Structure 1
Amino acid sequence: MWRYYALFSAIFAALTAILAKVGIKGINENLATAIRTVVVLLMAWGIVFTYGDQKHLKDLSRNNILFLAASGVATGLSWIFYFKALETGPVSKVAPIDKLSVAIAIALSAMILGKRLDWKTAMGAALILAGTLVLVL
């Protein structure tokens, strides 16, 4: 089932680039990021309350909160730079560079989380990098 979720994630990420490029036209990218963030915030909390997941708030540890907050900061910074790139660059170049995050995440998971990097994963990351270079150059 996770493969379907991942595919839907990729489809919606692609739509994000197209919709954001159209939506940012004529406005400041920071304002665009703020509007997008409010929508995501409302959707996320709407899902939490729809499924009754707010009852799990008491289960959060200090570590959960710290790392989720840090992840939120990283997400916010990613969105700010993504919108800045979209404002001034073509989607066909911005989106592939943004997807380098997959290869970077693979490398960071090996360095920070100590995950073993098998040859298939390393080759996949190298191909993502090569494909990005082909699309961008």
Structure 2
Amino acid sequence: MEDSGLSWRVWAILSAGFAALTAILAKLGVAGVPSDVATLVRTVVILAFAAAIVAATGQGAALASIGGRSLLFLVLSGLATGASWLCYFRALSLGDAGRVAPIDKLSVVFVAVFAALFLGETLSPAGWLGVGLIAGGAVLVAVSG
């Protein structure tokens, strides 16, 4: 991937900011719309946006060079993303965005555990403490009314 000059931390912060906007905008958009239909609309927009970026940056040829193993895991990741979005929009249609989004972010905890178990990645003790605090915060949000 081309180096844009921005560090992974900047991209991660931007991701978090856009994810926050996603929750607020989705909560407003799902009002009066079946959650699965809302998910479809969001998915079509993301597909068009990603296709435009690939076309604009001239990366289309890379599609033909994706190997079988990578394609398998990308397809599985896409299915997991779809399932996550369906569940997320259903939760947003039923609950408050301020409570749904933090619980959804338990994915951070799951990623840390799964990365350690399946990818051999490690975190420092301070890192695991941070993961534990995220889990604790999500529990507090879930049980508080």
The TM-score normalised by the length of structure 1 is 0.96
> Could you tell me which residue of structure 2 aligns to residue 124 of structure 1?
130
Q: C-alpha displacement at 1:117, in angstroms?
A: 3.5
Secondary structure at 1:115 match in 2: coil
Matched, 1:47 2:53: yes
Of residues 109-118 and 52-61 in structure 1, the stretch that sits farther from structure 2 once superposed is: 109-118
Structure 2: gaps (5+ residues): 1-6
C-alpha separation between the residues in 1 aligned to 2:83 and 2:53?
Answer: 24
What letter is aligned with 1:12? F
Q: 1:23 aligns with which of 18, 25, 29?
A: 29
> Could you tell me which residue of structure 2 aligns to residue 101 of structure 1?
107
What letter is aligned with 1:5? W
What letter is aligned with 1:98? D
Secondary structure at 2:9 match in 1: helix
Q: C-alpha displacement at 1:118, in angstroms?
A: 2.5
C-alpha separation between the residues in 1 aligned to 2:122 and 2:16?
Answer: 25
Q: C-alpha displacement at 1:49, in angstroms?
A: 0.4
Matches within 5 A, 1:1-137: 1-137=7-143
Q: C-alpha displacement at 1:35, in angstroms?
A: 0.4
